[in-house]
Structures are given as structure tokens and as C-alpha cells.
Amino acid sequence: MVSQKVTIKNPTGLHLRPAGILCKEAMQFKSHVTFRYRENTANAKSVLSVLGACIKSGDEIELVCEGEDEKEALTTIVTAIENGLGE
């Protein structure tokens, strides 16, 4: 298991479009990909789970990847978030 904290930079947070991009990135990997925000854990491969977490701009989440390609998954997803998820 690997994890890393990352701050959401999107001005409008994780609304539908960036949530979809996050899920698309996570679904490339076999590893189980989740993130923690406050006391909640969300499945990064589920758009509804990501949207339900209500992540706003400036919020810090902790990505957690567990599986055979966990390190590559973590690096790819963190990079996508830091690059603004297409925005």
C-alpha cells in the first residue's frame, strides 16, 4: 500500500468533468484506488463516489493505492491532480 497527500487545485473543486477524468485515470490500473477526505473514504474509480465526497478547491485529500501496480497508479493520479485534471 502506498499513499500521498495532494491538494486539489481546480478552481471549482471536483465537479463532474474533473471527477470523470480522475476516475478514468484510476481505472487504467488494477490496483484498488481510494482517497480519504476528512473522515470519509471514496472509491476513485467511481464518479458517484468522487462527487459524493464534495471536494472543493484547496482541499487536501490522501490518495491510497493498493495492488500490483500501486506505485505507478499513485504517481499517475497525483500528476493528473497537480496538473488540474484537464482544467
Task: Provide the annotated active-site residues.
Answer: 15
Residues 59, 57: Cα–Cα separation, whole Å: 6
33-57 as b/e: b if 16+ CB within 10 A: bbbbbeeeebbbbebebbbebebee
| Helix, strand, or coil (residue 57) | coil
Tell me the residue length of the chain: 87
